Amino acid sequence: MLRRTYASVILEAGESVVTLARWLGHSSPTITLDYYAHFMPEAGRKGRRAIDALLGQPADAATAA
């Protein structure tokens, strides 16, 4: 249970999956993603914000469409 709590807190704080996989001793970040991807609420939002900024659109307007 402590391991899952640790992993979820680390991912929610924005640490990379590659780094977390290394810390947990996983042989691949894919294994880490299989177990913990649902703890990544920001997944995709950062990329959308970057594209919105590039195109000059407010992030809220782009996600509402």
Do 31 and 37 contact (CB within 8 A), yes or no? no
Q: Tell me which residue has tokens 């703890």.
A: 39
Q: Which two tokens stand for residue 30?
A: 């894919």
Domain boundaries, the chain: 2-64
Per-residue pLDDT tens listing for the chain (65 residues):
788 889 988 888 888 899 999 999 999 999 998 888 777 666 667 777 788 888 887 656 555 55
Is the pTM higher than 0.75? The answer reads no
What pLDDT is stored for residue 60 in this prediction?
A: 60
Nearest to residue 21, comparing CAs of 44, 13, 11? 11
Burial class (CB in 10 A: 0-12, 13-18, 19+), 38: exposed
